[in-house]
Structure 1
Amino acid sequence: MSNADFVICGAGIVGLSIARELVSRGHKNILIFDKEAAPGKHASGRNSGVLHAGIYYDPGTLKARMCFEGNLLMREYCRQRQLPLLETGKVVVARDESEIPTLLELKRRATANGAQVSVVDEQTLRELEPEAKTAGKALHSPLTAVVDPKAILLALRKELEDTGVRFMFGTRFTDAGDGFVFTDNGSLEYGLFINAAGAYSDTVAHAFGIGRNYRLIPFKGIYKTLKKHAADRIRGSIYPVPNIKNPFLGIHFTRSVHGDVYLGPTAIPALGRENYGILKGMDKELPAILMRDAQMFLRNPKFRGVALEEPRKYMFKYFFEDARKLVRHLDPDDIEASPKSGIRPQLVDMRNHELVMDFLVEQGRTSLHVLNSISPAFTSAMSFARMVVNEHMNI
């Protein structure tokens, strides 16, 4: 049996950031285990790389508290280690005049959250992002940036290993005991167990008797890319005004740190927690996921709207129509397929069949469970880790 003062399940951005925060406070006996062969093989390494700037989130929520500070901390981390960082900002555009009130609500939220944003007219938008189009007004976020998530994960792993943090890869959580957990690679004894298992965080929590009212429902994000002649017309990121009652931001344009311009992601209900292809990633949990989807479809109008609208975007026609509304020039031939895809594990409160809109931390006697670590979790990770250690650990 291996043992550590802190055993962290999950080597994604949240698990690594919490370990880093613990190290910064003098703690040394830390072990991170993950079922994959390296950090961030799922949501942390498959996201768009956008560092959000606190625009979308209700003031007072964990997302609002963590996002803007997390943005600044992650920027500084990239600068210190000379990691790729693209500081081109982003614009949020209205597809028609009916979206202007929501645009102004985003401005109000951003200001309350400490973010630096401004409402701009069409002429100013043209100067900032010549290809973007809007219905009269747009929102400009100069502090939205883009990073390389995989480069950050690699840097964090090296930093942690250099300070003595131990990693056990290829090690899957199987069950929980009293003061130890079972894995397929032996048992691990802990002083404090930290669940940062991402798409599997609900099943890990349930093994401890924690959060049994919550279930994760996976949503699939697929992307496409712009061919170079079209990509050269996009300077930064172009987002639509979202439906702020849902946790999805809609198909958007994002210039990566490597010069590619991605379109996406979708928010299609997925058939498995690792269902990155059409059929690939489905497993024995499929019937349970379909049952949860069916319950949500019947009882939650917001989920029903997503479930009816998003799967159509598997068809190019509908994907293209969504993207075309944001820019002045876009032809079907400008777009090509991309292998990039990801899974967003969205937490649902099964007591009322509502989507959980904020981060959630549940605490046991000797365990801590990070649930619903969805966007902007990557942006927020370093700030979130500080909060977790300050407010949830008696150390």
Structure 2
Amino acid sequence: MHSAQFVICGAGIIGLTIARELLASGADSIIIFDKEEAVGKHASGRNSGVLHAGIYYDPGTLKARMCLEGNRLMQSYCESRQLPLFNSGKVIVTRSEEELDTLDELQQRATQNGGVVEMIDQKRLAEIEPNATTVQRALHSPLTAVVDPKTILQSLQRDLEASGKVQFFFNTPFEQADENKILTTQDAIGYEYFINAAGAYSDTIAKAFGVGKNYRLLPFKGIYHVLKKPAAKKIQGSIYPVPNIRNPFLGIHFTRNVHGDVYVGPTAIPAFGRENYGILKGIDREFFSILLRDIEMLLENEKFRNIAAEEPRKYLFKHFFNDARKLVKYLAPHDLLPSPKVGIRPQLINTKSKELVMDFVVQGRANTLHILNSISPAFTSSMSFARMVVKEHIGL
């Protein structure tokens, strides 16, 4: 049986940054195991790469507390390792006068969270992002940046392995919990302390330890298109809409990545599997239980009903294009090309209140810790979040 002082389930950004922080705090041995063959095969390696700047989140929440510091730490890490980093900035534009009050609310939240934002008029918007359009005014976030998530994940893996204290076990799915050991399809793994950072499967693993009984994850699918090169040249950085701040989704937006490609998306379509990246691909034996949870949320939660009514239409190009078209002055249907880029957002719901959970959730029991709802801005926040976890929950 393999064993280590700390055993982490999940080789995504949360698992890797927690391991990194554990090493910095004096950990002697760490095992990270994952059911996939490499790091970051799901949400961590499939996100847009945007480092957010603390704008959207209720002051006092973990997201608000971690986002800005996480942005700074991640940028510093990229600079120290000479990893791709694009200080793109971001504008948030309005599509109607009714969204102006929410734009003001976003400015207030950003300021309370310690962010740097500027309310700008249409003339200033045209200087920053010439193709963006807005009603009266927009919000500019100069601290928003873009990175390459996969290069960061691979760099973190190299750092951890170079320490001589971290082992990676890939192709090793979790099967069940036993006393101070994990049973996997490969072998048993003993631990002094176990950390569940399994992303889309974190709720099922938590339940194996009797944790998070009132939580379930619902998957939402994010599909993208990519702009043809002539149209892509008209996008300087990132253009976002004013979101519905009662929901955890930011809406279809434009993002220029570190390689110069401009992606449009993602959607937030209710999915029928934790890895339902295609139409049918990734639908498994959980289909009926996920469908049942969707039906329950449709009946009980108005916000979910609105999402379920609006988002699936964006599978149709016409509706996807119409959403994107509202953010810019010039965009033609032929400018948008299909993209294989697809992500799954594992959104936590409270099964008692039938509400979408808006913040990160950390729950512990005995010598185990469970990271639930590690959704955006989890990648941005990860290095700050890892510090908090190790200091406040593990006590190192």
- Which of the five TM-score ranges fits, normalised by the shorter chain? over 0.9
Partner of 1:364: 365
- Quick one: distance in 2 between partners of 1:268 and 1:150? 24
Aligned AA (2:156): L
Partner of 2:176: 175
Partner of 2:273: 272
Aligned AA (1:322): D
Partner of 2:105: 105
Aligned AA (1:302): K
Q: Secondary structure at the match of 2:293?
A: helix
Partner of 2:78: 78
Q: Write out per-residue CA displacement over residues 57-100 of structure 1, whole angstroms, 9 at most, x where no aligned residue.
A: 00000000000000000000000000000001000000011100
- Quick one: distance in 2 between partners of 1:361 and 1:195? 10
- Quick one: distance in 2 between partners of 1:52 and 1:377? 10
Aligned AA (1:172): P
Are residues 1:131 and 2:131 paired? yes
Residue 181 of structure 1 deviates from its aligned partner by 1.1
Aligned AA (1:96): S
Are residues 1:282 and 2:255 paired? no
Partner of 2:92: 92
- Quick one: distance in 1 between partners of 2:370 and 2:69? 22
Aligned AA (1:243): N
Aligned AA (1:55): I
Aligned AA (2:146): V
Q: CA RMSD in A?
A: 0.5
- Quick one: distance in 1 between partners of 2:39 and 2:104? 39
Partner of 2:160: 160
Aligned AA (1:29): S
- Quick one: distance in 1 between partners of 2:265 and 2:28? 40
Aligned AA (2:198): A
Aligned AA (2:293): R
Residue 28 of structure 1 deviates from its aligned partner by 2.3
Aligned AA (2:271): A
Partner of 1:317: 318
Aligned AA (1:151): T
Partner of 2:234: 233
Partner of 2:119: 119
% identical aligned pairs: 66
Q: Secondary structure at the match of 1:7?
A: strand
Are residues 1:46 and 2:46 paired? yes
- Quick one: distance in 1 between partners of 2:262 and 2:119? 24
Partner of 2:194: 193
Partner of 2:381: 380
- Quick one: distance in 2 between partners of 1:231 and 1:146? 16
Residue 27 of structure 1 deviates from its aligned partner by 1.1
Aligned AA (1:61): T
- Quick one: distance in 1 between partners of 2:138 and 2:234? 18
Partner of 1:67: 67
- Quick one: distance in 2 between partners of 1:162 and 1:246? 41
Residue 178 of structure 1 deviates from its aligned partner by 1.3
Are residues 1:13 and 2:13 paired? yes
Residue 25 of structure 1 deviates from its aligned partner by 1.4
Residue 293 of structure 1 deviates from its aligned partner by 0.4
- Quick one: distance in 2 between partners of 1:237 and 1:369? 33
- Quick one: distance in 2 between partners of 1:115 and 1:2? 45
Question: Once superposed, which parts of structure 1, at least 4 consecutive aligned residues long, lie more than 6 Å away?
Answer: none
Partner of 1:308: 309
Are residues 1:144 and 2:141 paired? no
Residue 377 of structure 1 deviates from its aligned partner by 0.1
Aligned AA (2:306): G
Residue 26 of structure 1 deviates from its aligned partner by 1.8
Aligned AA (1:65): R
Aligned AA (2:276): N
Aligned AA (2:377): P
- Quick one: distance in 2 between partners of 1:362 and 1:24? 23
- Quick one: distance in 1 between partners of 2:151 and 2:341? 16
Aligned AA (1:86): F
Partner of 2:261: 260
- Quick one: distance in 2 between partners of 1:364 and 1:213? 15
Are residues 1:214 and 2:198 paired? no
Q: Secondary structure at the match of 1:38?
A: coil
Residue 8 of structure 1 deviates from its aligned partner by 0.1
Aligned AA (2:136): G
Q: Secondary structure at the match of 1:53?
A: coil
Aligned AA (1:204): I
**Ranges in structure 1 where 5+ consecutive residues have no aligned partner:** none
Partner of 1:390: 391
Q: Secondary structure at the match of 2:175?
A: strand
**Ranges in structure 2 where 5+ consecutive residues have no aligned partner:** none
Q: Secondary structure at the match of 1:31?
A: strand
Partner of 1:26: 26
Aligned AA (2:231): A
Residue 394 of structure 1 deviates from its aligned partner by 3.0
Could you state the TM-score of these two structures normalised by the residue count of structure 2? 0.99
Q: Secondary structure at the match of 2:104?
A: helix
- Quick one: distance in 2 between partners of 1:163 and 1:147? 24
- Quick one: distance in 1 between partners of 2:275 and 2:171? 16
